[in-house]
């Protein structure tokens, strides 16, 4: 069994195993969906090089990880302005679509309306409001 097969689990993520990990799958999905997710980075060593990815842009970072007991993608968004949002989805297309919308400047309230899987959304520091 290859390193990527062991790290990802063939049963839950056979498509990601075939593509060499989460970062590669995100890049391919973004191309297929014709969206811009910014720079995609993965850790250089260890199991996480297959199971984690960071989408970075001027607006901030979106970290994506994999569920270990069931197939889902965990999203943690951290804006350079202090905004934060997180949630889980089973659809990789939704991960790249939310990254594209966020990079394009869509506000947190609208992101939550478009992507109801966002569980926690916190406005930038100084806004004195949180959507939870």
Global pTM value: 0.86
Q: How far is the C-alpha of 24 from the C-alpha of 91, rounded, in Å?
A: 15
Residue 3 vs residue 37, higher pLDDT: 37
Q: Render pLDDT for 18-38 as a digit per residue (tens, 0 to 9).
A: 888 899 999 999 999 999 999
Residue 63 pLDDT? 96
Residue 121 pLDDT? 83
| First vs last C-alpha separation in the chain | 42
Residue 129 vs residue 92, higher pLDDT: 92
| Per-residue DSSP letter, 91 | -
Compute and round to an integer the Cα radius of gyration of the chain.
15
How far from chain centre, in Å, is Cα 91?
Answer: 10
Alpha helices in the chain (DSSP H): 3-8, 14-19, 22-33, 48-51, 92-103, 108-114
Residues 6+ apart with CB under 8 A from 72: 66, 88, 89, 90
Residue 131 pLDDT? 45
């Amino acid at each position: 069994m290859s390193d990527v097969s062991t790290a990802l689990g063939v049963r839950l993520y056979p498509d990601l195993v075939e593509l060499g990990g989460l970062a590669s799958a995100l890049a391919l999905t973004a191309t297929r969906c014709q969206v811009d997710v910014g720079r995609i980075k993965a850790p250089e060593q260890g199991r996480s090089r297959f199971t984690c990815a960071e989408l970075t842009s001027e607006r901030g970072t979106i970290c994506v990880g994999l569920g270990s007991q069931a197939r889902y993608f965990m999203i943690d968004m951290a804006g350079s302005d202090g905004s934060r949002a997180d949630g889980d989805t089973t659809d990789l297309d939704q991960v790249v679509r939310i990254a594209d919308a966020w990079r394009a400047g869509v506000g947190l309230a609208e992101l939550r309306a478009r992507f109801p899987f966002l569980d926690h959304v916190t406005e930038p520091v100084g806004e004195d409001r949180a959507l939870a």
